[in-house]
Chain A
């Protein structure tokens, strides 16, 4: 059989995000896959060393366009730890709401990409429409649909506007009412189940050895969630489940993500019920004169794709000395993807890639 080299991406109808995989195929089977990232490399970490602590704020959410708020959160948490800034309780709850809404929006975006890979465009039409109502909520709260620049060291940029709670609860009510339709049409669809079961199977030991976190690891059987391991924002006061499955294939990953949408809706509702009064931020320092004492820290949170972390080093100046972002798609998109694509059929390449929920901008930064 002759070996052929195919390029999946960067210009490809199945490629969500600017990423490329070089496939060596024999007939219909992939013999070897090589991830080729770097199409979205902006040198974020270098750029952040040239901007002051405050100027980095608008930049940091752009690390992952599909799920931007976790990066604002890790940057704010890191700065708060280095500078010794406290966050008022009300801001903790508001941050939780924003992070969970971002998780829901990211999962609905995933649903579009994933279903499209399987040739099922209907789910994407529905989920992108529903996601847009969540972007409307973000617009009401922060002024921007996609990039919010809302989570700030010391709290959040401003308090909840009038009517936000009613509107959010109504939107989530409607979304929760549509989830059974999603199940009917896709998640319980015989064709989806038969295609996804057994595809892209990763067992627990491989997942652990290759650095998987988030839904990928939870679908392989390990119940590891940073919201429970090291609670941040308001998570220690909230009750929620962490969906886990055992087989580690594409079907399990899809179901974990589907169940997480429901959990996130429940978390947001709880946040509104338990929302404390008080200020939404502590007064931020003068941006022109803000120097952070020297030190280093690592902060981590649970983004939609897995453990999102930031390692910050300050040398006492008004600019960061070094910031390194640990993105969840980094281990998934390179070694784990190459491992899972060995032996896959060409039709499943996009499916496996999307089931790992790889976000290319996170890998390249």
Chain B
């Protein structure tokens, strides 16, 4: 068997493993968080879809941006996203990350999360129902199967574009990662380079 064939043969089970164990990083970004506890508890039970909440971004591969994103949160979101290892998938939950939503004229929320980190799927609504999350997860499975969930690749390839958008809102690089009020200086932050799928 050719070496390339071996990789191709392993890719199938690899995809199967990815899609049926999407672990969502536990980050309550906005008001959409109210529908996440019902989803991960007994009534809606996301675990039968393989979706579990994961404490650390280092071991998670699904990032749900639940609700609106303020400038302060965007700083934390970029950092969390870059800490996750590839392949990783992001889903924007709610109308606010899509186009600003209800807070389209707010001076403190960003209008399109798409400009700052890549998004693989959107769930519109205010508040979307828990079933909508499951529809999004099953659609994401299909996208993983056909190789269309490539947000993380887009981020690596177009890093300059994303970074310039982030800098425009978040400020200069030295200040980027330092939470205001903290005294520990933080070093360089490199884009996530995980294993490619």
Contact between A and B in the complex (any CB pair below 8 Å): yes
A residues contacting B by CB (< 8 A) are: 5, 7, 10-13, 15-18, 20, 22, 34, 36, 38-43, 46-47, 50, 58-59, 62, 65-66, 109, 112, 124-126, 128-129, 131-132, 135, 144-147, 361
B residues contacting A by CB (< 8 A) are: 25-31, 33-35, 37-38, 41-44, 53, 55, 57, 68, 70, 72-73, 76, 80, 102-103, 105-109, 126-127, 129, 179-184
**Across the interface, do A5 and B126 meet the contact criterion of CB distance under 8 Å?**
no
- Which residues in B have their C-beta under 8 angstroms from that of A18? 27-30, 33, 73
> Could you tell me the distance between the alpha carbons of A25 and B44 in the complex, rounded to whole angstroms?
39
> Could you tell me the distance between the alpha carbons of A309 and B165 in the complex, rounded to whole angstroms?
39
Contact of B42 among A38, A62, A129 (CB under 8 A): A129
Query: Contacts A13-B26, A20-B179 known; A39 to B70 CB distance under 8 Å?
Result: yes
**Across the interface, do B28 and A15 meet the contact criterion of CB distance under 8 Å?**
yes
> Could you tell me the distance between the alpha carbons of A40 and B108 in the complex, rounded to whole angstroms?
9
Given contacts A46-B107, A109-B34, 11 further A-B contacts (CB under 8 A): A11-B80, A18-B28, A22-B179, A34-B181, A38-B70, A39-B76, A41-B72, A42-B103, A43-B108, A62-B31, A132-B44
**How far, in Å, is A328 (CB) from chain B's closest CB?**
18
- Can you report 21 A-B residue pairs in the complex whose CB atoms are below 8 A from each other? A7-B182, A10-B29, A10-B76, A16-B28, A18-B73, A22-B181, A22-B182, A40-B70, A40-B73, A42-B103, A42-B106, A43-B107, A47-B103, A47-B105, A50-B105, A62-B31, A65-B34, A124-B37, A126-B42, A129-B42, A131-B38
- Which residues in B have their C-beta under 8 angstroms from that of A124? 37, 41
The 5 closest A-B pairs by CB, nearest first: A13-B55, A128-B41, A65-B31, A129-B42, A11-B27
Q: Which of B35, B37, B70, B102 has the most CB of A within 10 A?
A: B37
Contact of B127 among A11, A46, A147 (CB under 8 A): A147
- Which residues in B have their C-beta under 8 angstroms from that of A11? 25-27, 57, 76, 80
Q: Which of B28, B38, B106 has the most CB of A within 10 A?
A: B28
**Across the interface, do A10 and B106 meet the contact criterion of CB distance under 8 Å?**
no
- Which residues in B have their C-beta under 8 angstroms from that of A39? 70, 72-73, 76
**How far, in Å, is B61 (CB) from chain A's closest CB?**
15
> Could you tell me the distance between the alpha carbons of A175 and B70 in the complex, rounded to whole angstroms?
37
- Which residues in A have their C-beta under 8 angstroms from that of B42? 125-126, 128-129
**Across the interface, do A38 and B72 meet the contact criterion of CB distance under 8 Å?**
yes
**How far, in Å, is A130 (CB) from chain B's closest CB?**
9
**How far, in Å, is A278 (CB) from chain B's closest CB?**
32
Query: Contacts A10-B27, A36-B181, A39-B73 known; A145 to B53 CB distance under 8 Å?
Result: no
**How far, in Å, is A228 (CB) from chain B's closest CB?**
29
**How far, in Å, is B26 (CB) from chain A's closest CB?**
5
> Could you tell me the distance between the alpha carbons of A135 and B129 in the complex, rounded to whole angstroms?
11
Least CB separation from A135: chain B residue = B38
Contact of B37 among A10, A128, A145 (CB under 8 A): A128
Least CB separation from A105: chain B residue = B34
- Which residues in B have their C-beta under 8 angstroms from that of A125? 41-42
**Across the interface, do A147 and B126 meet the contact criterion of CB distance under 8 Å?**
yes
**Across the interface, do B30 and A40 meet the contact criterion of CB distance under 8 Å?**
yes
- Which residues in A have their C-beta under 8 angstroms from that of B26? 11-13
**Across the interface, do B37 and A42 meet the contact criterion of CB distance under 8 Å?**
no
Query: Contacts A18-B28, A42-B106, A43-B107 known; A128 to B181 CB distance under 8 Å?
Result: no
> Could you tell me the distance between the alpha carbons of A300 and B72 in the complex, rounded to whole angstroms?
31
> Could you tell me the distance between the alpha carbons of A51 and B112 in the complex, rounded to whole angstroms?
22
> Could you tell me the distance between the alpha carbons of A135 and B44 in the complex, rounded to whole angstroms?
13
Q: Which of B53, B181, B183 has the most CB of A within 10 A?
A: B181
> Could you tell me the distance between the alpha carbons of A89 and B16 in the complex, rounded to whole angstroms?
59
**Across the interface, do B107 and A361 meet the contact criterion of CB distance under 8 Å?**
no
- Which residues in B have their C-beta under 8 angstroms from that of A65? 31, 33-34
Least CB separation from B39: chain A residue = A128
- Which residues in B have their C-beta under 8 angstroms from that of A62? 31, 102
**Across the interface, do B73 and A5 meet the contact criterion of CB distance under 8 Å?**
no
> Could you tell me the distance between the alpha carbons of A62 and B30 in the complex, rounded to whole angstroms?
11
**How far, in Å, is A115 (CB) from chain B's closest CB?**
11
**Across the interface, do A5 and B182 meet the contact criterion of CB distance under 8 Å?**
yes
Contact of B41 among A13, A50, A129 (CB under 8 A): A129
Least CB separation from A64: chain B residue = B31
Least CB separation from B31: chain A residue = A65
- Which residues in B have their C-beta under 8 angstroms from that of A361? 31
